[in-house]
Amino acid sequence: MKNLFYILLVSTLISSCIPLKQFQEVQDENRQLEYDADVLAKENDAFRVDNRELSSEKKRLSKKVELLAQDTARLGRQNRRLQHRYDDLNKNYADVLLGLKASSTNNTDNRKLLAFLQELQEDLQRREDELIASEQALNDKKRSLENAMSELDMARQKLEEQNKRLIELEKMLSQKDDAMHALKSTISDALKGYSGDELQVHMKDGKVYVSMEEKLLFQSGRYNVNEQGVAALKKIARVLEQNEDIDIMVEGHTDNVPYKGRGELKDNWDLSVKRATSVVRILTDNSSIHPRRITAAGRSEHIPLDESNTPSSLQKNRRTEIILTPRWSEVFDLLEME
């Protein structure tokens, strides 16, 4: 189930900074996704706890049913023994009555017979009372057994439903993970002509990252994509337009050297946002990718890959990342099912 942790990381996609009027809108969406991810994590934990509790309850009820069945069998045997004893006593009582009526002995013998008959009748009544009590206990056990069986059936049904949903969830997550690995492979194949110091394709937390160095896309301090970068982005766009269930985040990153340019750009924030926007336009203008699938974000200098401030680390930090994330709406729908 390790793929479940992918859900918790969906919120990180919209934590970017975007320019001007869209900034607050992206922040609101980010907060909503963080809330949704938190709710999803809690529901998933509760889901597992419920499943464990149901399994435990099933075992408890199964044991209860077993004990009740044993008690029922024992009471049934006892009831049959009492019934036989009652039948024997009843027969003896009838025989004594018959003998008494046919007897021609004296009064002393008759008194003895009557005393014996009285004792026999009292014993018979006591046995009959025991038989009635035993039958009542047996009926009570039978009702308890029926109730326990009903509870067990309900627990078993609920457990089966929970297990079915867990299997569906695992299958869904596995399919998404396989799809993301396949997507990574397809993009890597499409970009085989580029060296490792120009771009890299890797997976992290269930997402595919296409990290492109500054020199592949832009001149220093500029945000217009050069011809080599446009060619690479067109190849990526052709892959992404075939994967409509993938959301796309384009993040611009700079180093920590203050921007000293002029014109409409004020600082590294503006530069990172402009670069992300330029990449988004090329992706959408050269494919059928719907704009609602894609977000442009500026990260400025605040998420460096290397903080050593050497020339090579500064170069590494100046990058544009295309982050590809599967949609999780069907996973949320499955977890929200009653």
Q: What is the DSSP letter of 17?
A: B
CATH no., domain 191-332? 3.30.1330.60
42 vs 234: which has the higher pLDDT: 234
DSSP codes joined into one string, 205-255: TTEEEEEEEHHHH--TT--S--HHHHHHHHHHHHHHTT-TTEEEEEEEE--
**Assigned token pair, 191:** 């970009």
| Integer Cα distance of 284 and 190 in angstroms | 18
pLDDT at 327: 81
244-277 burial, b if ≥16 CB within 10 A, otherwise e?
A: eebbbbbbbbbbeeebeeeeebeebbbbbbbbbb
| Integer Cα distance of 268 and 272 in angstroms | 6
Count of alpha carbons within 13 Å of 205, Cβ hemisphere only?
13
**How does pLDDT run across 44-66, given as a tens digit for each residue?**
666 677 677 777 776 777 776 77
pLDDT above 50 (res 14): no
Q: Which residues contact 25 (CB under 8 A, 6 or more apart)?
A: 18
- Answer yes or no: are the C-beta atoms of 113 and 100 closer than 8 Å: yes
Residue 22 banded pLDDT, cuts 50, 70, 90: low
| Integer Cα distance of 51 and 46 in angstroms | 8
- Using CB atoms within 10 Å of the CB of residue 67, give its burial: 0 to 12 exposed, 13 to 18 middle, 19+ buried: middle
pLDDT at 324: 94
**How does pLDDT run across 68-79, given as a tens digit for each residue?**
777 777 767 777
- Domain residue spans in the chain? 54-172, 191-332
pLDDT at 45: 67
Residue 172 banded pLDDT, cuts 50, 70, 90: confident
237 vs 74: which has the higher pLDDT: 237
**How does pLDDT run across 105-125, given as a tens digit for each residue?**
556 666 776 677 777 777 778
Residue located via tokens 């990153």: 253
10 vs 118: which has the higher pLDDT: 118
pLDDT above 60 (res 104): no
The amino acid that residue 19 corresponds to is P
- Using CB atoms within 10 Å of the CB of residue 234, give its burial: 0 to 12 exposed, 13 to 18 middle, 19+ buried: middle
pLDDT above 90 (res 37): no
pLDDT at 30: 61
Angle at CA of residue 10, ends 247 and 48, nearest 5°: 130
As beta bridge partners, residue 203 has 208
- How distant is the alpha carbon of residue 10 from its chain centre? 15
pLDDT above 50 (res 13): no
Using N-to-C axis directions, what is the helix angle for 268-285 and 227-240, rounded to 10°?
60
Best-predicted range by mean pLDDT (111-120, 130-139, 208-217)? 208-217
Mean pLDDT (the chain, rounded):
79
Average pLDDT over residues 23-37: 62
Residue 201 banded pLDDT, cuts 50, 70, 90: very high
- Answer yes or no: are the C-beta atoms of 180 and 9 closer than 8 Å: no
What's the residue count for the chain? Answer: 338
pLDDT at 277: 97
pLDDT above 80 (res 193): yes
pLDDT above 90 (res 210): yes
pLDDT at 205: 86
| Integer Cα distance of 7 and 335 in angstroms | 12
Q: Which range, of 69-83, 122-136, 258-272, 278-292, averages the lowest pLDDT?
A: 69-83
- How distant is the alpha carbon of residue 167 from its chain centre? 9
